[in-house]
Structure 1
Amino acid sequence: MTARNELRLLPWSGPEGKPCYLSTDDPDGCMSRLADNIEAVQLGTAAELLERASEALDDQDTNPEDMRHLTKELTGALRDVLRVATSRGHLLAVSERPGG
């Protein structure tokens, strides 16, 4: 997934919440596949949370504590999805460069 000499933003954070990057020429390598799988799980989780949020907003009986919990989960999912989008956007930009 990464072009030669390019880093891939991984879908998890390192110590102190700092971003983690992968440098590899092998898009089918173990770490690339792991990152792809984790991204897929993160996107699936975000889709499920979006459905739950839509249902909760439509339900007049949803209590405030449940909404706070759901909001916290949605915030984490949005953070993950933003990281995936940033990583994939960077990879697209790299692949569109001449020689990329």
Structure 2
Amino acid sequence: MTEKSELRLLPWAGPEGKPCYLSTSDADGFMSRLADRIETDQLDMASELLKYALQVLDHQAGDFDGLPLLVAQLAGALEDVLRVAASRGSRLEAPENP
């Protein structure tokens, strides 16, 4: 059986929002490359949303009708970024104790 630490947390959720894991040591496999591309897209989207949100905050004038949508998109992007961070962090090698 594969240890949980050997599983890669994928950048998408499964049914009912449950985490999906990939059990492979092949970083060049199809699913690993797909996960890498999706992580990159998610991080890029979060960056763009952050830039837009900062522009909205800087201007603090105008129509705020779109603010609930922006907040929802930011929350989704933050969720994605946290999943990417957890996935990448779990794949880091633990430092050796001296």
- Separation of aligned partners in 2, 1:97 and 1:57: 41
Corresponding residue SS for 1:64 = coil
In the other structure, the counterpart of 1:85 is 85
Corresponding residue SS for 2:22 = strand
Is residue 10–residue 35 contact of structure 1 (8 Å, CA) maintained in 2? yes
Is residue 56–residue 62 contact of structure 1 (8 Å, CA) maintained in 2? no
Identify the match of residue 94 of structure 2 among 93, 96, 99. Answer: 96
In the other structure, the counterpart of 2:41 is 41
- Separation of aligned partners in 2, 1:42 and 1:7: 20
**Is residue 2:73 matched to residue 1:55?**
no
Instruction: Report the RMSD for the aligned CA atoms in angstroms.
Output: 1.6
How far did 1:83 drift? 0.2
For residues 7 and 61 of structure 1, do their structure 2 counterparts lie closer, same or farther at Cα, with a shift above 3 Å needed? Answer: same
Structure 2: any 5+ residue segments left out of the alignment? none
- Separation of aligned partners in 2, 1:58 and 1:72: 19
User: Could you give the per-residue CA deviations for residues 8-62 of structure 1, whole angstroms, max 9, x where no partner exists?
Assistant: 0000000000000000010100000000000000000000000000000112224
Of residues 63-72 and 77-86 in structure 1, the stretch that sits farther from structure 2 once superposed is: 63-72
Question: Which residue identity is paired with 1:90?
Answer: S
Question: Which residue identity is paired with 2:94?
Answer: E
Name segments (4+ residues, structure 1) moved above 4 Å: none
Corresponding residue SS for 1:9 = strand
Task: Report sequence identity in percent.
Answer: 58
Is residue 14–residue 20 contact of structure 1 (8 Å, CA) maintained in 2? yes
- TM-score, L = length of structure 2: 0.88
